A and B are shown apart, each in its own frame.
Chain A
């Protein structure tokens, strides 16, 4: 059986991403790869390894640990670091809370997503990072900042419209002044399906929560949320067991699951394709809510 062509990964995207990553290593003195444990950053790590093969990756990965991660993600992260030999730096949101720099949110929708921005900015100045690579893609969110591959930030991590440079041809201008740094998005031009097809073709391992598994969840706003000690629940929100998978890997407090039986990559890709392609896909509603979730998740981080 042959795979339908729509499921073939366009290799030009891989060459483009490697070019960008090499340019980061060449133009900056102290770059890092922002690692979230999600599939996009796992792809970035893989691309970085290819870019410098057979030499080791010449920059560390930085994880901003909210303390509310899925344990599977943390285990995966540590294994990946050990296997690849890439230096892993972890900075904790809990430390920012303890230092009184940020305050824990309260209420039903409390999460640490917004808090991690402070931890990240502190890490950038502590580690004197001049470039941070992230796995954001232009197709997932229309935020202006992502339109550039090299996005210049000031001391406060802020994006200034006037500082965004036209990106002509394939030329990347990473010149900055002291105090500025650059966010770099090597897989800007990839879509979600491209990422999944790449993962399949390159046989990349992913945290197990991406595949269908049994888990206790609660239902809220028509979505399934993983039951965890971090989630503030009401009395009527009674956990029950369901077979689910996650489409993104954020915090346990703000990543909703979808009901799914897809326990293999092919199964997951099949579900995504049918959600994208069919006009009356049964799982469309999941997709909608997930899109909203992804948005919430991304506020602040980039």
Chain B
């Protein structure tokens, strides 16, 4: 059974909570008691329908308690798939939260109110989708009931979004669904009121989205997370390199190279979650044994000899700044690339993107919260990374402030 992680985006009142509630309801992922509570809540509000947005109401309660929620996780399942929705309800720190939620996601659901069409927020959402190279963006054009179920309205918005996506340089696959989240049209069930739409419902789209295949096809990248040495009589000589295979596949008998040493050995045994296997694939937590002792420790990278990556102590990256404390050139941070941490210095700020105009502003002296832009970095030791475009699983990093220990930025490697 697959797990599909999705991020949702929309501005206030576009119907995001209703849509999520609808997905939960139509996939029967809610219990009777929660539904009854929602029905009672709807009656209390004087509504003549069941307001499914109340299903994610825990969030509202928290808001009332004065706690800001940044990213909320919502779970539902169909017989074939488990879904995890990362929803960012916050407004103030919206960009930061969207990026955080989206950094785990393979797909985006972007909501647009049919009456309003493309708005500034839509641009921001698509920009983030591009930044994170989200594979598929589902554009859900909602509240079609308030737009006369009009195909012309739908087509008009579709054309606008496509044009915008082109300006932004978005490479994601775009899928458009006309919907009435409130009544469930084209969410899980095809709408009878929009018979002109013959495409898939949103849920059908989600169900048919291939999961993770691309990650398997990339070169193998195996950062060593932990070295397992049992020191027991039974496993006296066992030396296992444990970690998550970030991308690619590995086979027993394959020749691999350890970085930075560049020394090679052959995979003698492979384990996926403690089970001995002949092959492992991307995303699995694995352990491997080699036929030679290469003196590998945490933070080293294991790759295949035919597709190694080069080490570099100097890189250009796009940063999404997430801290209240500003970034200034010359500052030192800890750079965490996967499970590997090195000291790093921002040597220069090249530009900052104005998300609203998409212009690159030059001559910027610092980044504040939610700023996005290109910087030059130097690291204390070479990083065995790929560019984010080549391999998103080995091309991203975070920056950690050495004094506050906060995670202050997400980084996307552009050149090494």
Who on chain B is nearest to A167 by CB?
B100
A55-B229, A173-B400 given; 12 more Cβ-contact pairs under 8 Å: A9-B1, A10-B2, A12-B3, A19-B285, A52-B226, A142-B59, A166-B322, A171-B398, A191-B82, A276-B30, A276-B31, A279-B32
Query: How many whole Å from B346's CB to the nearest CB in chain A?
Result: 18
| 0/1 interface trace, chain A 74-99, chain B, CB 8 Å (1 if under) | 00000000000000000000000000
Q: Which of B97, B229, B287 contacts A53 (CB 8 A)?
A: B287
Complex interface: stretch among A22-30, A128-136, A248-256: A22-30
Known: A9-B1, A171-B336, A175-B405. A22 touches B225 (CB 8 A): yes
Q: Is B243 an interface residue (CB 8 A)?
A: yes
| 0/1 interface trace, chain B 157-177, chain A, CB 8 Å (1 if under) | 000000000000000000000
- Let me know if B283 and A5 touch, CB within 8 A: no
Known: A5-B80, A49-B274, A275-B31. A54 touches B72 (CB 8 A): no
Q: Which of B73, B99, B283, B398 contacts A12 (CB 8 A)?
A: B283
The interface size of chain A toward B, counting residues with CB under 8 Å, comes to 61
CB-CB under 8 A from A144, the residues of chain B are: 62, 67, 69
- Let me know if A168 and B99 touch, CB within 8 A: yes
Complex interface: stretch among B116-124, B185-193, B199-207, B230-238: B230-238
Query: How many whole Å from A29's CB to the nearest CB in chain B?
Result: 14
Known: A161-B67, A165-B407, A276-B28. A55 touches B230 (CB 8 A): yes
Who on chain B is nearest to A276 by CB?
B31
- Let me know if B400 and A26 touch, CB within 8 A: no
Query: Top 5 nearest A-B pairs by Cβ distance?
Result: A142-B58, A288-B33, A18-B285, A55-B230, A53-B274
Q: Is B354 an interface residue (CB 8 A)?
A: no
- Let me know if A51 and B73 touch, CB within 8 A: no
CB-CB under 8 A from A171, the residues of chain B are: 336, 338-339, 396-398
Who on chain B is nearest to A288 by CB?
B33
Instruction: Give 18 CB contacts A-B under 8 Å.
Output: A10-B82, A15-B272, A15-B283, A26-B339, A52-B228, A53-B271, A147-B73, A165-B405, A165-B406, A166-B70, A166-B96, A166-B97, A167-B407, A171-B396, A173-B336, A176-B405, A279-B32, A284-B32
Q: Is B29 an interface residue (CB 8 A)?
A: yes
CB-CB under 8 A from B68, the residues of chain A are: 161
- Let me know if A8 and B285 touch, CB within 8 A: no
Q: Is B298 an interface residue (CB 8 A)?
A: yes
- Let me know if A279 and B84 touch, CB within 8 A: no
CB-CB under 8 A from B400, the residues of chain A are: 173, 175
CB-CB under 8 A from A219, the residues of chain B are: none
Query: How many whole Å from A84's CB to the nearest CB in chain B?
Result: 13
CB-CB under 8 A from A276, the residues of chain B are: 28-31
CB-CB under 8 A from A168, the residues of chain B are: 99-100, 103, 396, 398, 407, 410
Bound: A297/B1 CA distance, A: 32
Q: Which of A4, A19, A165 contacts B225 (CB 8 A)?
A: A19
- Let me know if B99 and A138 touch, CB within 8 A: no
Bound: A5/B1 CA distance, A: 8
Bound: A14/B284 CA distance, A: 9
* B residues 110-152 in Cβ contact with A at 8 Å: none
Q: Is B104 an interface residue (CB 8 A)?
A: yes
Query: How many whole Å from B126's CB to the nearest CB in chain A?
Result: 20
- Let me know if A284 and B100 touch, CB within 8 A: no
- Let me know if B3 and A287 touch, CB within 8 A: no
Q: Is A277 an interface residue (CB 8 A)?
A: yes
- Let me know if B273 and A22 touch, CB within 8 A: no
- Let me know if A50 and B273 touch, CB within 8 A: yes
Query: How many whole Å from A196's CB to the nearest CB in chain B?
Result: 13
Query: How many whole Å from B219's CB to the nearest CB in chain A?
Result: 18
CB-CB under 8 A from B2, the residues of chain A are: 10, 12
CB-CB under 8 A from A275, the residues of chain B are: 31-32
Bound: A173/B406 CA distance, A: 8
Known: A4-B79, A54-B238, A161-B68. A166 touches B33 (CB 8 A): no
* B residues 304-345 in Cβ contact with A at 8 Å: 322, 334, 336, 338-339
Most buried by A among B61, B225, B410: B225
Bound: A175/B333 CA distance, A: 13
Known: A171-B336, A171-B398. A50 touches B59 (CB 8 A): no
Who on chain A is nearest to B27 by CB?
A277
CB-CB under 8 A from A2, the residues of chain B are: none
Q: Is B35 an interface residue (CB 8 A)?
A: yes
Bound: A161/B90 CA distance, A: 14
Bound: A54/B287 CA distance, A: 10
CB-CB under 8 A from B30, the residues of chain A are: 276
Q: Is B20 an interface residue (CB 8 A)?
A: no
- Let me know if A10 and B1 touch, CB within 8 A: yes
Bound: A10/B242 CA distance, A: 21
Known: A13-B3, A19-B225, A279-B32. A54 touches B407 (CB 8 A): no
- Let me know if B28 and A277 touch, CB within 8 A: yes
CB-CB under 8 A from A18, the residues of chain B are: 273, 285
Most buried by B among A10, A54, A166: A166
Query: How many whole Å from A4's CB to the nearest CB in chain B?
Result: 7
Who on chain A is nearest to B406 by CB?
A165
* A residues 279-302 in Cβ contact with B at 8 Å: 279-281, 284-285, 287-288, 291
Bound: A10/B77 CA distance, A: 11
Bound: A19/B31 CA distance, A: 31
Who on chain B is nearest to A144 by CB?
B67
Who on chain A is nearest to B411 by CB?
A168
Bound: A184/B67 CA distance, A: 21
Bound: A53/B275 CA distance, A: 9
Who on chain A is nearest to B284 by CB?
A15
Query: How many whole Å from A173's CB to the nearest CB in chain B?
Result: 5
Query: How many whole Å from A234's CB to the nearest CB in chain B?
Result: 27
Bound: A285/B32 CA distance, A: 9
* B residues 375-411 in Cβ contact with A at 8 Å: 396-398, 400, 405-407, 410
- Let me know if A189 and B29 touch, CB within 8 A: no
Q: Is B16 an interface residue (CB 8 A)?
A: no
Q: Is B244 an interface residue (CB 8 A)?
A: yes
Query: How many whole Å from B237's CB to the nearest CB in chain A?
Result: 11
